Amino acid sequence: MKLGMLTACLPGLSLDRIAPWAKETGYEALEVACWPTIGGRDFEASHLPVATFDKEDAERTRRLFAENGLHLSALAYYENHLHPDPNRRQEIHDHLLKVIDTASLLGVEHVGTFIGRDWTRGVAENLRTAEPVFRELVEYAGERDVRLIIENCVMEGWHPDGYPGNLAYSPELWEWMFDLGLYLNWDPSHLTWIGIDPVPTIAPYADRIVHAQAKDIQITPGAINRYGFFGKAIGRTDPWDTGWWRYRVPGRGQVDWSAVVDALYEHGFTGTLSVEHEDPVWGGDEQRVKQGLTIAHRTLRPLVIA
């Protein structure tokens, strides 16, 4: 197992600047953000020019990682592949193909993304729509020796009423997507707030958990009694603000990281545990984000064998 970080939390820095800082901090791997541009939403970044990426870019990137002793664990483009606007959906699919092509050029095995959801339709109809879409994407990736890994984020902010906006949030849906040839980028924080104990979900799906993200969560005592499970219904100006929980860096929330890492080891996980920083306390500027990443590293380093 390697301890890594997702670069999306540092959109203002180039990969050339992130890599040496990650090395100095003690990280072993990077999950590299590959959105088309900066600014679509918080915690997105464009750290590789996948639209124009060529063999020279690949050689330059491999050299950067080699010089810093880092592993490139995955390319990251977490978007809604079932977006209700067909034009936007096609843009997202087209960009994902470029990310897959870039991963192939670099020899990177994993590309992370979402299933997504058309929030104007029910779950069953979405799943029927998704099956041919993802069979095609999985085939395209497989021809290039790349696996598509799906994060189990709920993406409640994509739905107008705060319902799940990414249909990969539960083990029931994981089993559906595994049948399509997809793998799991497992994250315990999302499971925690929807009422699923994350640790017992590792053993049954160990053969499909090929990458994992380390994000913590802090639940405000008693706040759910006002808003209910789905969060604020009135005056929800920020679609991501449920009012009763928030993401934190590992060590500042309630995920039992000792139990998580122990279970990953027990069930043979040999991938990267990648810190995903979306902590509002340790956010807002580069210095505070780096401090948050340092806290995460100090929390996880004693647990992950270097």
Tens-binned pLDDT, residue by residue, of the chain (306 aa): 999 999 999 999 999 999 999 999 999 999 999 999 755 566 789 999 999 999 999 999 999 999 999 999 999 999 999 999 999 999 999 999 999 999 999 999 999 999 999 999 999 999 999 999 999 999 999 999 999 999 999 999 999 999 999 999 999 999 999 999 999 999 999 999 999 999 999 999 999 999 999 999 999 999 999 999 999 999 899 999 999 999 999 999 999 999 999 999 999 999 999 999 999 999 999 999 999 999 999 999 999 998
Q: What's the confidence (pLDDT) of residue 41? A: 66
Q: What CATH class has 2-300? A: alpha beta
Count of beta carbons in the 10 Å neighbourhood of residue 97: 14
Encoded tokens for 159: 């739905």
Q: What's the confidence (pLDDT) of residue 57? A: 98
CA 99 – CA 91 distance, rounded (Å): 13
Q: What's the confidence (pLDDT) of residue 38? A: 56
Q: What's the confidence (pLDDT) of residue 294? A: 98
CA 137 and chain centroid, separation: 18
Domain map of the chain by residue range? 2-300
Q: What's the confidence (pLDDT) of residue 43? A: 77
Encoded tokens for 165: 């906006």
Q: What's the confidence (pLDDT) of residue 37? A: 77
pTM across the whole model? 0.96
Encoded tokens for 174: 């994981």
CA dist 220 to 125, 192, 205, 223, Å? 35, 13, 30, 6
